Homo-oligomer: A and B are copies of this chain.
């Protein structure tokens, strides 16, 4: 376990440029091919599907990000890693991180195989899902894992180099650490946007034009494309959950173990090389704060773009079937991609302006980072204007994007106010330590709870503004597009905000490395300054992660409804085949869904599919629904014929007239509110309320499980450290070498064991609730999980941050300083805060997104079987309810 991985890791990134070039070539070749086939071959129904030139800004942006990531990676690697001792410590940490991540990917791979198999059954067996979804799920997970690995690799390579850089000067240290962070940030956005671009290009151009032309296939509609792509996000979600939960448990188990036995029992300082858990502690920073945070935001980034695309297409869907509508649809689909591409350019520019003078203090360091973020955010504003202009979108969307950007800034500032010891709340919390641990805990809990008000109100305001501006409260679909584009706007600068986040643990590790290798005081002072800055950026980064997760989850909630709509179409299309021959009838598919027959000769298959209408009983008024050409004795419009539910309508010939006369609404014409009513998505449906309760419950159970897991893993770590102190001779004198790897292995095991159950819970819950309580129940679950999860996540992150900084404030010499009674009380607060802010709280970000994602992916299953199960149990929502 002592081998230096430097010798055998061939630099994974070495392959990255080739991969990028290959992908780019693939895109170009297929572009050429598509033009060819469009011009010459005259395929069966192959109509050219042109893309506006500006679309190329999306893949270009992703290539720019990856190229810059490669450039920064190279520039970091060119730095010296310092003395042999420094290299050896860094290698141990790197080795530990690789050991952990290998194990995590192994567990994740098994789960991925199982889920992909399930998705394959759904796609090919039950026909409730598109055939490409299982593949998309795997690519999403793979790319998320890849970007996490690249970030982790860079971070672990950078820590010793940052320490070495700090020997030269502060600016050098900052540059190395920040550029390593930028590798992470740019890799995440680059790979994310590349994945989306490649998939879109494949589905729209190659599958939908080249192949469709050559093989006479049915090209996918834009709606189908976005909906399939949205499902890919689940791969990223699942990977993110493992990274966040596993990483969170690992890092805190190691931290608590190292602190309790090392600092408290043995009385040796933090990051002392004699402490066997030290390396695990440093590994934890990397796997939790780098890989975990990266996977979290990779998912937010991809999901917000995908949701916006899907909602953009859906917003135009209801109106008319014209070429102009099709163009608008495509524009609204592409706008989020292009905005993300321009956001990358803004981020890259932002990264370049981050530098500082040699005599920099905390304030100027912070100003340097803020300058970069501010520049990037400011550049996104004109970029938005450009996108709106180029795609001819309503200008009100500009307001939505600004609302998203502002929301992110406000949440960040509020987080700083409530958790930084420069401000009143944390100082007040430090005062509470004077009366003991009990009051510190109560004070921290109260501070965390009250601190939720600004984030909740600003997300609320952003939501209303982003919805109201484009939709004006009369076009719901357009309003939802506004919310999703606000999330894209907020996340467009992720390249640089994530860079500042990832910078934190790198600086922290650099400090650890300097400490463990006994660097001279001025070096350690510099690394301390870098580290302190990292703590502040970590807090605001957490706020950003939570805020963006909330907006993304909101967009996913809306996208989920789109998936339910598509699920209904799929069923209606399937039923069309069954009912052929019964021309004057509308066939009940059971459980409130009806298919209308269209003569097969009259139209192409595509048109038949579109004409096949799933009927929704819209007004639910008994008088209206019995006004049918039906035998006497019919109740509520549905009666039995040959033992099957059948609903008579006037003959198909009557067409539009019949539709006017009857209040039924076809799924294709149904508005959002028709769906809400059909599925009983209101608090008057107990299934919806039970769903909300369930979402809330899941948040609490999830927190409890992760907190307990940290406790258990930390307990085993404590035993191991104690054992090593006891059994390894000369360990305290520095002559015996502690077994770092064993501690890493213990934290790894603890994390792997504990992460599976909560992860499965958040995947199983939406499916289970959906099958049991139908669409109403699932949407309730998402509402409860989203609102409860957001509030609890903010509460936990801020309480944890405030405790942490109150302790540091006392350590600076206030209230008696280190080892005083108030300090002991504050340490209790910090111990409680650790799993709050680094395990349970951040994991909730993923929980709320993953639940929505799972609902999106399993929508077809839920639409098909939910009503059936509900009917068996006699708790199915009656769409004709009065």
Q: Report the minimum CB–CB distance from A28 to chain B (whole Å).
A: 41
Assess whether A684 is interfacial by the CB under 8 Å rule.
Answer: yes
Which of B464, B558, B685, B711 is in CB contact (< 8 Å) with A684?
Answer: B558
Q: Which residues of B contact A477 (CB under 8 A)?
A: 882
| A residues 851-882 touching B (CB-CB < 8 Å) | 874-878, 880-882
A76 at the A/B interface (Cβ < 8 Å)? no
Q: Is the CB of B788 within 8 A of A791?
A: yes
Q: A673-B881, A676-B677, A693-B790 are in contact. Are A483 and B701 (CB under 8 A)?
A: no
Residue A708 lies at the interface, judged by CB distance under 8 Å to chain B: yes
A754 to chain B: closest CB distance in Å? Answer: 12
Q: Would you call B468 and A704 a contact (CB within 8 A)?
A: no
Are A452 and B700 CB-contacts (below 8 A) given A480-B684, A663-B663? yes
**Is A787 a contact of B689 with CB atoms below 8 Å?**
yes
Q: A707-B446, A708-B446 are in contact. Are A620 and B673 (CB under 8 A)?
A: yes
Determine how close the nearest CB of chain B comes to the CB of A629; give it in whole angstroms.
Answer: 15
Complex Cα distance A875/B473, Å?
Answer: 7
Q: Which residues of B contact A383 (CB under 8 A)?
A: none
Among A111-168, those with CB < 8 Å from B are: none
List 9 tightest A-B contacts by C-beta distance, closest first.
A438-B831, A449-B704, A474-B878, A671-B882, A450-B704, A676-B682, A460-B690, A449-B700, A446-B704
> Shortest beta-carbon distance, A267 to chain B, in Å?
16
Is A661 interfacial (CB-CB < 8 Å)? yes
Q: A475-B881, A693-B787, A703-B449 are in contact. Are A443 and B621 (CB under 8 A)?
A: no
Give, as a whole number of angstroms, the nearest-CB distance from A357 to chain B: 41
Expressed in whole angstroms, the minimum distance between the Cβ of A281 and any Cβ of chain B is 17
Q: With a CB–CB cut-off of 8 A, which chain B residues contact A831? A: 436, 438-439, 441-442
Bound Cα distance A558, B688 (Å)? 14
Residues on B with beta carbons closer than 8 Å to the beta carbon of A621 = 618, 665, 669, 671, 674
- Cβ-based interface call for A627 (8 A): yes
Kindly state the separation between the CA atoms of A624 and B661 in the bound complex, as whole angstroms.
9
- Give 21 pairs: A residue, B residue, CB < 8 Å, sorted on A: A436-B828, A436-B831, A437-B828, A438-B832, A450-B704, A452-B701, A456-B693, A456-B694, A456-B696, A464-B875, A468-B874, A472-B874, A473-B877, A474-B636, A618-B618, A624-B663, A672-B882, A693-B787, A696-B787, A783-B783, A787-B788
Taking a contact as CB atoms under 8 Å apart, the answer to whether B684 and A683 are in contact is no
B683–A681 touching, CB < 8 Å: yes
Does A43 touch B at the CB level, under 8 Å? no
Q: Chain A, 622-637, contact with B by CB distance < 8 Å: what is the 0/1 string?
A: 0110010000000010
Q: Are A623 and B835 in contact (CB under 8 A)?
A: no
Determine whether the beta carbon of A701 is less than 8 Å from that of B449: yes
Is A692 in the interface zone, CB < 8 Å from B? yes
Given contacts A621-B671, A673-B684, A435 and B788 within 8 Å (CB-CB): no
Given A557-B683, A673-B677, 12 more A-B residue pairs with CB atoms under 8 Å apart are A435-B715, A441-B828, A442-B707, A442-B831, A449-B704, A459-B693, A463-B690, A473-B881, A619-B619, A663-B663, A673-B881, A692-B787
Q: Are A684 and B468 in contact (CB under 8 A)?
A: no
Minimum CB distance partner of A465 in chain B: B875
Instruction: Flag whether A476 is at the interface (Cβ < 8 A).
Output: yes
Question: Counting CB contacts under 8 A, is A203 at the interface?
Answer: no
**Distance, CA A435 to CA B438, complexed state (A):** 16
The chain B residue with its CB closest to the CB of A480 is: B684
Q: Once the chains are docked, how many angstroms separate the CA of A623 from the CA of B657? A: 11
Contact A673 B682 (CB under 8 A): yes
CA of A432 to CA of B435, assembled, Å: 23
Interface residues of A in 604-629 (CB under 8 A from B): 618-621, 623-624, 627
Contacts A449-B700, A620-B671, A791-B693; A881 near B474 (Cβ below 8 A):
yes
Chain B residue nearest to A558 in the complex (CB): B684
- Whether A248 is near chain B, meaning CB under 8 Å from some CB there, is no
- Known contacts A619-B663, A701-B449, A711-B443: does B693 contact A460 (CB below 8 Å)? yes
Interface residues in A442-463 (C-beta closer than 8 Å to B): 442-443, 445-447, 449-450, 452-453, 456-457, 459-460, 463
Contact flag A697-B791 (CB < 8 Å), given A474-B636, A475-B881, A705-B450: yes
Q: Is A59 an interface residue (CB 8 A)?
A: no
Please state if A701 and B450 are interface contacts (CB–CB under 8 Å). yes
Q: Which residues of B contact A704 (CB under 8 A)?
A: 445-447, 449-450
| C-alpha spacing A446/B832, complex, angstroms | 11
Contact between A701 and B453 (Cβ–Cβ < 8 Å)? yes
Chain A residues touching B, majority SS: helix
Q: Is A696 in contact with B438, judged by CB distance below 8 angstroms?
A: no
**A882, closest chain B residue (CB):** B671
A665-B621, A684-B676, A831-B438 known; A881+B476 contact, CB < 8 A: yes
Bound together, the chains give a CA A436 to CA B263 distance in angstroms of 15
| A318 at the B interface (CB under 8 A) | yes
Bound-state Cα–Cα, A307 to B624, Å: 30
Residue with the greatest number of chain B CB neighbours at <10 A, chosen from A620, A715, A795: A620
A881 close to B696 (CB less than 8 A): no
A882 near B663 with CB under 8 A, answer no
Provide the bound-state CA to CA distance between A659 and B558, in Å. 33
Nearest-CB distance from A809 to chain B (Å)? 18
On chain B, the residues within 8 Å of A671 by CB distance are 620-621, 881-882
Distance between Cα atoms of A693 and B453 in the complex (Å): 10
Q: Is A188 an interface residue (CB 8 A)?
A: no
Between A456, A684, A690, A788, the greatest number of chain B beta carbons within 10 A of the residue's beta carbon is seen for A684
**Beta-carbon contact of A832 and B672 below 8 Å:** no
B828 touches A882 (CB 8 A): no
A87 at the interface (CB under 8 A from B): no
Residues of B within 8 A of A674 (CB): 619-621
Say if the beta carbon of A503 comes within 8 Å of chain B. Answer: no
A333: interface (CB < 8 Å)? no
Which among A700, A701, A877 has the greatest number of chain B C-beta atoms within 10 A?
A700
Q: Does chain B have a CB within 8 A of A779?
A: yes
Task: Flag whether A408 is at the interface (Cβ < 8 A).
Answer: no
A822 at the interface (CB under 8 A from B): no
Are B672 and A684 neighbours in the complex by a CB distance under 8 Å? yes
**Is the Cβ of A561 less than 8 Å from the Cβ of B684?**
yes
Query: Which residues of B sit under 8 angstroms from A435, Cβ to Cβ?
Result: 260, 715, 718
Q: Is A170 an interface residue (CB 8 A)?
A: no
Say whether A783 contacts B689, CB under 8 Å. yes
* B-side contacts of A692, CB under 8 Å: 692, 783, 787
Point out which of A438, A450, A708, A831 has the most chain B C-beta atoms below 10 A from its C-beta: A438
- A801 shortest CB reach to chain B, Å: 16
Closest to A428 in B: B708
The answer to the question of A680 belonging to the interface, with a C-beta cut-off of 8 Å to chain B, is yes
A444 → chain B, closest Cβ, in Å?
Answer: 10
Of chain B, the residue at the smallest CB distance from A256 is: B438
A882 contacts B436, CB within 8 Å?
no
Q: In the complex, A467→B776 CA distance in Å?
A: 15
Question: A536 an interface residue at 8 Å Cβ cutoff?
Answer: no
Q: How far does the Cβ of A838 sit from chain B's closest Cβ, in whole Å? A: 13
Q: How far is the CB of A878 from chain B (nearest CB, A)?
A: 4
Instruction: Flag A783-812 by CB within 8 Å of B: 1 or 0 each.
Output: 110011011000100000000000000000
Kindly supply a per-residue 1/0 record for chain A positions 696-723, scoring 1 wherever the CB is within 8 Å of any chain B CB and 0 otherwise: 1100110111011011000100100000
Query: Which residues 750-791 in A have Cβ within 8 Å of B in the complex?
Result: 779, 782-784, 787-788, 790-791
In the complex, what distance in Å separates the CA atom of A218 from the CA atom of B471? 46
Interface centre among A621, A795, A827 (most CB of B within 10 A): A621
Q: Is the CB of A442 within 8 A of B835?
A: yes
Whole-angstrom CA separation of A743 from B828 in the bound complex: 30
Chain B residues contacting A441 (CB-CB under 8 Å) are: 441, 828, 831-832
A8 within 8 A of B: no
Give the distance in Å from the alpha carbon of A694 to the alpha carbon of B435 in the complex: 33
- How distant is the Cα of A783 from the Cα of B787 in the complex, in angstroms? 11
A687 on the B face (CB < 8 A)? yes
